[in-house]
């Protein structure tokens, strides 16, 4: 049989297990030109929360009672498509199913020799590309500048910080536990870390960690952490608004201080970043990331949860910060 996970309800506020539904289907058969895929690793990501809303965004919303999809590594177990062979591993946006067929469009073969399979969902996949292109296209990070990263121990944040160090910047990370702060400094080479949960005055803590101010802020969380970063932004500063996990489960648009005054006074740029806008730049991004990885300049953390049945819970755990780096379910 073939287990599939459907979106049962559009979550109100924080999603719950009850928003997902498991169904069992017949295992599909591939047609001429298709491949049959067995799911190996499923990426669960905060941005999926946005697709659970019935509203216009950069990708269409999930439909109710249809399978959810995300980044997946799958094994080709049958092939009637000359571009793929049995035993190949592929990476792409696929459905939360144990087995599925595909025409192969939009799938990339994975080079198992380069890195472990899960790396292609993280540092060498969309996560790494997001960190790299956000800094490149919006941050325009230059040697000697100060880079501040929120959710710094997370999948995107930890890569962004390492790229900052490769580029010769001072890099400061914000995260939510002392263990995460230790990790970003010891494992990922951040110069300084701030535990926002135990800091009374985040604005002051950033000022101390970034004595020359913040030139580029890589934002994965939004909300009050972004406000504190903005309070320390330098003239001509750039804010890469890549994620807003602090806002995703809100049922109304939250209020916060207006930033127009700071934007004007300091000629600040603030721009929403969606990696899908830069598909044509994925190739060069992957080349940079792969080279750095091979040279040992780029490492990663991941949390691997076992079992297809645990996909929804792994997704929910993202909003509790239970993951170390990239959250992945091994099927």
284 binds its own copies, rule: CB under 8 A: no
For residues 161 and 131, what is the distance between their CA atoms, to the nearest angstrom?
9
Q: Closest approach of Cβ 246 to its own copies, in Å?
A: 9
Under a CB-based contact definition with an 8 Å cutoff, are residues 19 and 310 in contact? no
Of the candidate residues 255, 280, 295, 320, the single one contacting its own copies (CB under 8 A): 255
* Smallest separation, CB 12 to its own copies (Å): 16
Listed ranges 29-37, 112-120, 204-212, 266-274: which one lies at the site for its own copies (CB under 8 A): 266-274
Q: Does 266 bind its own copies (CB under 8 A)?
A: yes
Quote the CA–CA distance of 54 and 51 in Å, as a whole number. 7
Confirm or reject binding of residue 257 to its own copies (CB under 8 A).
Answer: yes
Nearest distance in Å: CB 110, its own copies:
28
What are 254's two structure tokens?
A: 């939250």
Among 141, 146, 174, 244, interactor with its own copies by CB under 8 A: 244
- 181 scored as a contact of its own copies (CB under 8 A): no
> How far is it, in rounded angstroms, from Cα 202 to Cα 227?
9
Nearer to its own copies, 42 or 285 (CB): 285
**Does 327 help bind its own copies (rule: CB under 8 A)?**
no
Q: How far is CA 263 from CA 27, 132, 266, 271, 306, in A?
A: 55, 24, 6, 12, 46
Tokens of 243: 């994620």
Among the residue ranges 83-91, 179-187, 254-262, 319-327, the one whose residues contact its own copies (CB under 8 A): 254-262
Residue placing its CB nearer to its own copies in the complex, 124 or 174:
174
Non-local CB neighbours of 306 within 8 Å, separated by 6+ positions: 329, 330
Distance between CA atoms of residues 274 and 278, nearest Å: 8
Q: Under rule CB under 8 A, how many of the chain's residues touch its own copies?
A: 37
The nearer residue to its own copies, 266 or 330, going by C-beta atoms, is 266
Q: Does residue 274 bind its own copies (CB under 8 A)?
A: yes
What's the CA gap between 329 and 206, in Å, rounded?
34
**Does 254 engage in binding with its own copies (CB under 8 A)?**
yes
Tokens, residue 76: 């080709």
Q: What count of other Cβ atoms lies within 10 Å of the Cβ of residue 253?
A: 7
- How far is 163 from 5, CA to CA, in rounded Å? 36
Q: Determine which residue in the list 67, 189, 223, 321 makes contact with its own copies, applying CB under 8 A.
A: 223
Among residues 18, 267, 287, 291, which is the contact residue for its own copies, using CB under 8 A? 267
Which element (helix H / strand E) includes 67? none
Which among 232, 235, 243, 227 is positioned nearest to 172, based on CA atoms? 232
State which residue, 27 or 266, has the beta carbon closest to its own copies.
266
Give CA angle at 271 (269, 275), nearest 5°.
145
Q: Other CB atoms closer than 10 Å to residue 215's CB: what's the count?
A: 23
Q: How far is the CB of 14 from its own copies (least distance, A)?
A: 16
CB of residue 260 vs its own copies: minimum separation in angstroms? 4
* Interface segment toward its own copies; rule CB under 8 A; list 90-98, 270-278, 293-301, 315-323: 270-278
Interface of this chain with its own copies, residues 39 to 58, rule: CB under 8 A: 50, 56-58
Q: What is the dihedral of CA 257, 172, 323, 64, to 10 degrees?
A: 40
Cα 132 off chain centre by: 12
Residue 214 within binding range of its own copies, rule CB under 8 A: no
Q: Which residues bind its own copies (CB under 8 A)?
A: 50, 56-58, 219, 222-223, 226, 235-236, 241-244, 247, 253-258, 260-274, 277
């Amino acid at each position: 049989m073939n287990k599939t996970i459907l979106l049962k309800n559009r979550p109100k506020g924080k999603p719950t297990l009850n928003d997902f539904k498991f169904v069992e289907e017949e295992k599909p058969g591939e047609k001429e030109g298709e491949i049959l895929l067995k799911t190996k690793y499923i990426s669960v990501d905060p941005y999926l929360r946005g697709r659970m809303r019935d509203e216009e965004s950069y990708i269409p919303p999930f439909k109710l009672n249809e399978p959810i999809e995300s980044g997946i590594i799958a094994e080709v177990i049958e092939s009637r498509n000359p571009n793929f062979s049995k035993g190949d591993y592929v990476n792409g946006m696929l459905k939360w199913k144990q087995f599925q067929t595909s025409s192969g469009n939009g799938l990339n073969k994975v080079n198992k020799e380069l890195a472990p399979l899960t790396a292609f969902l993280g540092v060498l996949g969309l996560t790494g590309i997001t960190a790299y292109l956000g800094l490149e296209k919006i941050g325009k990070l230059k040697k000697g500048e100060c880079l501040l990263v929120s959710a710094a121990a997370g999948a995107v944040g930890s890569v962004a910080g390492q790229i900052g160090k490769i580029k010769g910047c001072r890099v400061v990370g914000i995260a939510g536990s002392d263990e995460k702060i230790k990790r970003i400094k010891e494992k990922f080479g951040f110069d300084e870390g701030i535990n926002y949960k135990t800091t009374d005055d985040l604005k002051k803590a950033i000022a101390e960690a970034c004595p020359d101010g913040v030139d580029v802020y890589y934002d994965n969380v939004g909300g009050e952490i972004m406000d504190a970063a903005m309070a320390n932004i330098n003239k001509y500063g750039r804010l890469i608004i890549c994620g807003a996990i602090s806002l995703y489960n809100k049922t109304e648009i939250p209020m916060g201080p207006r930033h127009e005054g700071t934007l004007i006074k300091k000629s600040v740029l603030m721009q929403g970043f969606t990696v899908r806008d830069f598909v044509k730049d994925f190739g060069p991004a992957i080349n940079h990331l792969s080279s750095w990885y091979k040279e040992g300049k780029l490492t990663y953390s991941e949390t691997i949860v076992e079992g297809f049945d645990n996909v929804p819970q792994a997704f929910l755990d993202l909003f509790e910060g239970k993951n170390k780096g990239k959250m992945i379910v091994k099927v």
